[in-house]
Amino acid sequence: MSACHVVLVTGASGLIGSEVAGYFASQGHTVHGVDNNQRAVFFGPQGDTRWNQQRLERERPSYRHHELDIRDRQGVLDLVADVRPTVVVHAAAQPSHDRAAAIPFDDFDTNAVGTLNFLEAARRTCPESPFVLMSTNKVYGDGPNRIPLIEKATRWDYAVPQYAHGIPETFSIDQSLHSLFGASKVAADVMVQEYGRYFGLPTCCLRGGCLTGPNHSGVELHGFLSYLVRCNLEGREYKVYGYKGKQVRDNIHSLDVARFIHAFADAPRSGEVYNLGGGKANSCSILEAFALVEQISGQRQRHSHVETNRIGDHICYYSDLRKMRDHYPGWDITVGLEQTIVQIVEAWQHKLVS
């Protein structure tokens, strides 16, 4: 990016927000972050993200934090008018599909209405600024579970060549079971597309697979690799819900998410949608993740199996990255799955002793 940017990042104390904030700050751009540590309200003390906010403030002295609830519409309108960002990265959310069922108002008000607050604020103040929403693969609901699968020794996989590269952005988001979280994210996703198509804002939705990295405050209900590593290091039992532990997720390091956002901000398009994950090369089943983590940490993974799967949970999901690579040929994955796990292990080892 040549120009000096003013980047507004929501959810700045979370996994993605903090990575994006640190990434742009390290390149000399001005970064404003919004977060009110709502993750600790959603998930209790283990979801607390203050440590990450403090890390960011310590490591990036130019970073400016705004303690604001994204549901506070007037607060959002005032902040955007004041900051006048040249890039908006919206990563604040209630991120768990299981948790949403217990807190439907908080979930929808945060995920859907919070997104509308920022979109409208951007339209009024900085309609030319690239606007990136962290969406999710849960917008496809359980549709991917209807794809014929084959069972392999340690994982499920797609049985039809049509999905050999993974799930494309053209996959239907309609008429499937989403969870309330998936539905509130669909509302946000479609609204972000609409502000692109209807109003011409340079928006995009990044439909994340498993976004991960050392700065995740992983809890049982969200952040599977981070939580799994924590269980391994603490000798805690990890509960596998259904699908024989062979359910497949594709994992992408938060740095590669930040790098894609950078590429989009450099050459924005309008109303775009990308499936953003590690792709097949960085996918693993839970059983495979156990083996990888054991190999890296040297500790045995304790686990138990619950027969019933989580409602609507994907059996096999990996993203087709071809559209991203086609639109942004300068971007690709730079941190593979093993290296990512090494970093997560090291981060937890450090956090658990300090």
Ligand X SMILES: NC(=O)c1ccc[n+]([C@@H]2O[C@H](COP(=O)([O-])OP(=O)(O)OC[C@H]3O[C@@H](n4cnc5c(N)ncnc54)[C@H](O)[C@@H]3O)[C@@H](O)[C@H]2O)c1
- Say whether 200 sits in a helix, a strand or coil: coil
Q: Does 69 bind ligand X (CB under 6 A)?
A: yes
- Say whether 132 sits in a helix, a strand or coil: strand
Q: Does 29 bind ligand X (CB under 6 A)?
A: no
Cα distance between residue 119 and residue 77, in whole Å: 10
Residue of 49, 117, 232, 275 that binds ligand X (CB under 6 A): 49
DSSP notation for 55-112: HHHHH-TT-EEE---TT-HHHHHHHHHHH--SEEEE------HHHHTT-HHHHHIIII
Smallest distance, Å, CB 161 to ligand X?
Answer: 26
Smallest distance, Å, CB 298 to ligand X?
Answer: 26
Smallest distance, Å, CB 49 to ligand X?
Answer: 4
Smallest distance, Å, CB 60 to ligand X?
Answer: 16
Q: Does 275 bind ligand X (CB under 6 A)?
A: no
Neighbours of 94 (CB within 10 A): 26
* 105 residue type, one letter: F
Smallest distance, Å, CB 119 to ligand X?
Answer: 14
Smallest distance, Å, CB 2 to ligand X?
Answer: 28
How many chain residues are in contact with ligand X, going by CB under 6 A? 30
Of 157 and 250, which has the nearer Cβ to ligand X? 250
From the list 57-65, 86-94, 161-169, 323-331, the region that binds ligand X by CB under 6 A is: 86-94
Residue of 9, 21, 31, 36 that binds ligand X (CB under 6 A): 36
Q: Does 91 bind ligand X (CB under 6 A)?
A: yes
Neighbours of 185 (CB within 10 A): 33
Cα distance between residue 104 and residue 114, in whole Å: 14
Cα distance between residue 89 and residue 323, in whole Å: 20
Cα distance between residue 43 and residue 323, in whole Å: 34
Residues that bind ligand X (CB under 6 A): 11, 13-17, 34-39, 49, 69-71, 91-95, 110, 114, 134, 136, 208, 210-211, 216, 223
